[in-house]
């Protein structure tokens, strides 16, 4: 069973979409996605600098568009019938929703644009940040977070947990981390997937009410608890609530393993989730589709599983 995974915010780098524009039809597709999001995604994916594409309101639509660009090429010529399921990490869940047929590309891009704007607005109200903690004992870390007033935001598996909250509390964590743990500050604009994002949830709920989701056409896992969601409206509601809830990618990977995953393909901008899979799904073949040159390896993995 091949699982397609879709990365989240922070995976983008300046110019990462430039190689894709040489693929026939890719530029037109990216223009269409940009029109749906009211953003010049061609420019943001090729010439915009790191600060510009770090902006949450730009980064989220750009990441989803890159994933959709990849999915159209990856699953063409009937290859979509081979995949066993799809999941996304954080904003990548919107990519997965489109890939599973729950949302149209137009609705997905409109939704992610509103999500990015709402989360950027929420982040601007209070100074916050995020830090990756690697190698800590989970219970020791969670107890320390309670003491510092911080929250876990991403349980990524493989010993990595991303935490979020006030800058001074993150600084205190860095000064006195859990035993045997590495602490890595992240260049993000807010405390995503925590209580600080609750204003964005209210904003997105009104947007979600206007959508008409379809039922998933393949197995679709949620970040909420790693479970399979078989109803489109339920998945959209989970997308809304997930903005202020921790991402449980560790449970998603456990679910992949329980379902019998035999290979994992990550769509652009790829690398983060295949990296986590090397620790959380040891021995499972992976392909990170970073550029069009990587599609051949993905096709081979799909063909092997057909």
Indicate which residues carry an active-site annotation: 90, 193
Non-local CB neighbours of 81 within 8 Å, separated by 6+ positions: none
Dist CA 54 CA 29 (whole Å): 23
Dist CA 240 CA 238 (whole Å): 5
Confirm if 21 and 27 have CB atoms less than 8 A apart: yes
List, in sequence order, every residue forming a beta bridge with 161; answer none if it has no partner: 133, 155
Q: Omega of the bond prior to 269 within 30 degrees of 0, cis?
A: yes
Tokens of 153: 């935001």
Dist CA 304 CA 53 (whole Å): 36
Non-local CB neighbours of 272 within 8 Å, separated by 6+ positions: 7, 8, 10, 11, 89, 266
State the residue for tokens 């206007």.
Answer: 210
Dist CA 238 CA 216 (whole Å): 14
State the residue for tokens 């990595």.
Answer: 160
Dist CA 192 CA 74 (whole Å): 30
Q: With H, G, I as helix, E, B as strand and everything else as coil, classify residue 9.
A: coil
Q: CB burial class (10 A; 0-12, 13-18, 19+) of residue 111? A: buried
Confirm if 162 and 95 have CB atoms less than 8 A apart: no
For the beta carbon of residue 225, count every other beta carbon within 10 angstroms.
Answer: 12
């Amino acid at each position: 069973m091949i699982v397609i995974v879709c990365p989240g915010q922070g995976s983008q780098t300046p110019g990462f979409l430039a190689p894709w524009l040489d693929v026939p039809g890719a530029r037109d597709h990216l223009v269409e996605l940009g029109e749906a999001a009211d953003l010049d995604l061609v420019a943001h994916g090729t010439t915009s600098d790191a600060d510009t594409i770090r902006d949450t309101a730009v980064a989220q639509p750009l990441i989803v568009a890159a994933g959709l660009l990849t999915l159209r090429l990856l699953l063409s010529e009937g290859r979509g019938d081979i995949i066993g399921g799809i999941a996304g990490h954080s904003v990548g869940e919107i990519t997965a929703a489109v890939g599973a047929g729950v949302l149209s590309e137009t609705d997905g891009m409109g939704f992610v644009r509103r999500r990015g704007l709402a989360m950027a607005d929420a982040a601007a109200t209070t100074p916050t940040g995020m830090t990756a903690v690697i190698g800590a004992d989970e219970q020791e870390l969670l107890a320390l977070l309670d003491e510092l007033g911080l929250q876990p935001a991403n349980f990524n598996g493989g010993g990595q947990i991303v935490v979020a909250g006030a800058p001074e509390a993150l600084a205190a964590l860095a000064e006195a981390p859990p035993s045997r743990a590495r602490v890595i500050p992240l260049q993000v604009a807010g405390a995503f997937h925590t209580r600080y994002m609750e204003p964005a949830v209210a904003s997105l709920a009104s947007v979600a009410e206007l959508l008409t989701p379809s039922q998933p056409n393949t197995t679709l896992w949620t970040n909420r608890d790693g479970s399979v969601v078989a109803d489109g409206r339920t998945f959209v509601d989970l997308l809304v609530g997930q903005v202020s809830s921790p991402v449980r990618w560790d449970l998603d990977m456990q679910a992949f393993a329980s379902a019998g995953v035999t290979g994992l393909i990550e769509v652009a901008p790829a690398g983060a989730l295949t990296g986590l899979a090397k620790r959380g799904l040891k021995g499972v073949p992976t392909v990170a589709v970073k550029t069009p040159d990587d599609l051949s390896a993905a096709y081979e993995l799909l063909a092997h599983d057909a």
